[in-house]
Homo-oligomer: A and B are copies of this chain.
Amino acid sequence: MMDRGRLEAFSDGVFAVAITLLALNLTVAGPGHGHGSLLRQLASQWPAFAAYGVSFFTIGIIWVNHHALFALMTRVDRTLLYLNLVLLSFVVAIPFATATLADYLRVQGASGTTAGVLYAGVMEAMSIAFTLIFVHALRLGLLIVVPPPEERRSAVLRFGLGTVAYLVTMAVAFISPLVTLALAAVLAGYYVFQRTPDVPGDEPSA
C-alpha cells in the first residue's frame, strides 16, 4: 500500500506542468514577418486565448476535485494508483487538444468537427477516469466517510453527470467547434459556482 502524500505530490506536479504548458500555445510572430500589426495578430488569435482560458479553468477544476476526493482517502491501493495514471494521461493531453481546437475553431465541416470531438473526447475520457476512481474508492471502502447506500448512488450519479455532459459536448461539435468550446466554458463555469454539500469535508466555509 502507498501513502497518499506522494501520489498527491506527483499528481500536483503533473497538473501544474500541464496547466502551464497550455500557455505554449500562445504565440505571435515577431515584427517584419508580414503578419500585420501586433494588435491585428493578437485579435486574430482570439481562439487561442479563449481556448487557453477554458482549458486553464477546466484543469484547475479537475485539480480542485482531485484534491477534494483524495483528501477523503484513508489509503491508496495499486489499482487506484494506475487509475490515477489513466486520469493524468488525459490531463496531460489537454494542451494538445486545446491547441488543435484553437487552430480549427473557425473551420467548418469535417476538420472543425474532428477538433471539437477530440477536445471534448479528451475531457470525456478524463471524466470517466475520475468516475472510476470514485467508484473504486467507494467499493473498496478507501474513503474516510462511507456514505449510506442512497447517498452513494446520488454521489455516483453526480460524478457520472460530468461524463454525460462531455458526451453532449462531443455531440455539439457536429454543429461547430465553437459551440463545443462554448459548452465546455459553461461546464467549467458550472463547476466553479456549484455547491457540493454531499461530499463531506468540502463544505463552503462562508
Contact = CB atoms under 8 A, between A and B. Distances in A.
A67 B23 contact: no
A205 B16 contact: no
Nearest to A103: B30
Dominant secondary structure at the A interface: helix
A81 B96 contact: no
A110 B36 CA distance: 11
Question: For this complex, into which size category does the number of interface residues on chain A fall?
Answer: 35 or more
Interface string A61-81: 001100110010001011101
B10 A10 contact: no
5 contacts: A17-B17, A38-B104, A38-B118, A60-B85, A79-B206
Interface of A: 1-3, 6, 8-10, 12-24, 26-28, 30-31, 37-39, 42, 52-53, 56-57, 60, 63-64, 67-68, 71, 75, 77-79, 81-82, 85, 88-89, 92-93, 95-96, 99-100, 103-104, 107, 110-111, 114-115, 118, 140, 192, 201-206
